[in-house]
Amino acid sequence: MEYVLYIIIAYLLGSIPSGLIVGKAGYGKDIREHGSGNLGGTNTFRVLGIKAGLIVTTADILKGTAAAALPYFAGADVIPLVVGIFAVVGHMYPIFANFKGGKAVATSGGVILGVNPVIFIILILSFFIILYFSKYVSLSSMVSGIIGIIATLIVEDYGLTLIITLFTIFVIYRHRSNIKRIINKTEPKITWM
């Protein structure tokens, strides 16, 4: 029963549509009607700019961190990584935004931050190194997940390996259209790095 409670809380945390809130409250825009139509940080950067993008990305990360950290602070006998999965599901399919959310990258990272900050730092560094050379946010997100899997295997944290593998599958699945555009060389590249 305790798991059910924390799963519901995690899902609701993940469902908070940061991009929608920041877009409407701060800019009078529904970002679902602009750019890629996605509620995540990348589309927020494109549509609303750096400040809004940073706010949304940070909020999306913290949703995952909060969900994973909640059992620690509450002294609950539940596995934080398991609870964190449902924050990611909430981010992808938010009840507060007609089940159309982001692509799982930032919130997945937030869950990892909540349980293993070192692996999180490895993911962030990998993301920006790949982004520097490729200029593709989508590719950087997917490859960083694979690097995260390898890193957890090296440190023999097999529980985290399993969860990062699951998160990477989520991320790759949510980036199906981006993969096609990368292959067709029509995927937008960043210009600020």
Q: Is residue 142 part of a domain?
A: yes
Whole-number average pLDDT of the chain: 95
Number of domains composing the chain: 1
Query: How confident is the model over 27-69, as pLDDT tens digits?
Result: 999 999 998 889 999 999 999 999 999 999 999 999 999 999 9
Q: Is residue 193 part of a domain?
A: no
- Per residue in 68-99, pLDDT tens? 999 988 888 899 999 999 999 999 999 999 99
The answer to the question of residue 191 being in a domain is no
Does residue 188 sit within a domain?
A: no
Q: Tell me, yes or no, whether 192 lies in a domain.
A: no
* Residues in Cβ contact with 168 at an 8 Å cutoff, skipping those fewer than 6 apart: 142, 145, 146, 148, 149
Q: What is the pTM of this model?
A: 0.94
- Which domain does 109 fall in, by range? 2-183
11 assigned to some structural domain: yes
pLDDT computed for residue 64 by the predictor: 97
For residue 76, is it within any domain? yes
Which contacts qualify for 164-169: CB closer than 8 Å, 24 or more apart?
A: 164/108, 164/112, 164/119, 166/85, 167/88, 167/104, 167/108, 167/111, 167/112, 168/142
Proportion of the chain above pLDDT 90, given as a percent? 91
State what percent of residues in the chain have pLDDT above 70. Answer: 100
